[in-house]
Amino acid sequence: MKHKVPINIVAIIPSFYKNNGEGVNERQFINALSKHVKKIYVFTFEDIRKLMKVKKQKLNLPKNIIQISIPLIKAPLISTMLMIFTSYLLSFILLIFDYIIGVELIYIRYSLPSIGIITLKPLASKVVVKIPSIIEDEIRYRGLTNKFIKKFIVIIEKIVLLKAKVIAVPSKELYREILKRRNVQRIDNFIEAMPGLDLDFIEKIKRTPYEKRNLKRKIFTVGFIGSLVWWQGIDTLIKAIALLRRQSIPIHLLIIGDGPQRPIIENMLKVLKVSYEITGSIPHKEALKLLKRIDMLVLPRPHTSFTEFLIPMKVLEAWALGVPIIVTRHKIFTSLGIKDYEDLIYCEPNPKNVAERLLCLLRNDNLRLKLAMKGSKIAKRFTYNRVIDELLNMTTKTTSH
């Protein structure tokens, strides 16, 4: 669907300002969607302590995107309750929106902010809820409060699966797993919504002048990009580099990102005497500029429901920038027909195996060049167009009835 559809859309997403994969992906998706519709009203949940600071950021949003920030207190139980309360409040606001201007589609990331909206029939028939992961596997809960929150979210998610018009999930495999976990039989109205790329933005990054990587230089820069949390496998990568260091292999580790495990990771790097740099949280554009300079991206993430069924945006971006990749052999890659030593290099998430794959890639200039060239071609498969077409086709069918 290449023409512009004269409809109004409401989007409810966690944040428009975060530099992590979640924030960047939703921001890029909304921007891409805005090119095809009349207007998008975006409600975002922002940490009340940071709201004044982020307001100064220049997002350069298209004129037909109206962004509205909802302040939220960053505490698990309080933020959960506030999000549910806000969902019910938004349901009445959206009813007024719908009556005055007409709303054809309501896109919501996560189940919690959708619960109040799907209880109203006039709105429920227009709701698309994106469930990006199995929440209890992604976060390690501690204490009675967090155990309560986990069970509460699971119950809400089951209601959402039964009531929302359409469910958007990054892959079919993850959708099946979610239905199994929630004991729900629903099989219809599913959209496969993988992360995507803004290829125009990537091209601007590629054209930015920088010092080219020298395949024959003595020190290699191995890169990691992402949140520093337990399921990223950064500890495995550090241990692998430490093994190569014992063989006098000169490697510098560039970690692009930040997160709750940073103190643990920094301590491990110092103890194992690994040469490193951690950038902390930086704007997406700056992260990509650094990403294109590294010799290879390594993501030895463990096998979990979250990692197994979701292709990381950082992999797509590395492909687009021509950066060779080593990644755990997750089911999502094999289901897409991604070939070992052709499109990227597979590893198992243990230090010895990662070290072997690293050494193989470091010593083979031709293989690095081959993966770099192939990656640029693969990246073109991952845009937001297919998801947008499905959403708009669904919307036009609904309005025609």
Strand partners, 288: none
Task: Choose from 69-83, 178-192, 212-226 the range with maximum mean pLDDT.
Answer: 178-192
Is residue 105 over pLDDT 60? yes
CB 48 within 8 A of CB 146: no
Q: Is it true that domain 5-196+383-400 has CATH number 3.40.50.2000?
A: yes
Superfamily of domain 199-381: Glycogen Phosphorylase B; (3.40.50.2000)
Assign 393 a pLDDT band (cuts: 50, 70, 90).
confident
| Backbone torsions φ then ψ of 251, nearest 5 degrees | -130, 135
More confident site: 180 or 398:
180
Kindly report which listed range (78-82, 201-205, 297-301) carries the lowest average pLDDT score.
Answer: 78-82
SS (H, E, C) the chain: CCCCEEEEEEEEECCCCCCCHHHHHHHHHHHHHHCCEEEEEEEEEEECCCHHHHCCCCCCCCCCEEEEEEEECCCHHHHHHHHHHHHHHHHHHHHHHHHHCCCCEEEEECCHHHCCHHHCHHHHCCEEEECCCCHHHHCCCCHHHHHHHHHHHHHHHHHHHHHCCEEEECCHHHHHHHHHHHCCCCCCCEEECCCCCCHHHHHHHHHCCCCCCCCCCCCEEEEEECCCCHHHCHHHHHHHHHHHHCCCCCEEEEEECCCCCHHHHHHHHHHCCCEEEECCCCCHHHHHHHHCCCCEEEECCCCCHHHHCCCCHHHHHHHHCCCCEEEECCHHHHHCCCCECCCEEEECCCHHHHHHHHHHHHCCHHHHHHHHHHHHHHHHHCCCHHHHHHHHHHHHHHHHC
pTM for the structure as a whole:
0.88
pLDDT of residue 401: 44
| Side-by-side strand order, sheet with 190-192 | 65-72, 37-47, 5-13, 105-109, 127-130, 166-169, 190-192
CB 4 within 8 A of CB 39: no
Residues of the chain with CATH 3.40.50.2000: 5-196+383-400, 199-381
Q: 284-291 vs 199-207: helix axis angle to the nearest 10?
A: 60
Residue 265 has which token pair?
């990771």
d(CA 198, CA 208): 16
Assign 141 a pLDDT band (cuts: 50, 70, 90).
low
Assign 396 a pLDDT band (cuts: 50, 70, 90).
low
Query: Per-residue pLDDT averaged across 131-142, rounded?
Result: 75
Query: Per-residue pLDDT averaged across 138-166, rounded?
Result: 80
Assign 234 a pLDDT band (cuts: 50, 70, 90).
very high
Is residue 110 over pLDDT 50? yes
pLDDT of residue 243: 96
More confident site: 108 or 24:
108
pLDDT of residue 73: 73
pLDDT tens string 344-382: 999 999 999 999 999 999 999 999 999 999 998 999 899
pLDDT of residue 17: 75
Assign 165 a pLDDT band (cuts: 50, 70, 90).
confident
pLDDT of residue 95: 94
Residue 262 has which token pair?
């940073």
Is residue 400 over pLDDT 80? no
CB 102 within 8 A of CB 8: yes
d(CA 11, CA 44): 8
Residue 8 neighbours by CB under 8 Å, 6+ apart: 37, 38, 39, 40, 41, 97, 101, 102, 103, 104
Kindly report which listed range (36-50, 70-84, 249-263) carries the lowest average pLDDT score.
Answer: 70-84
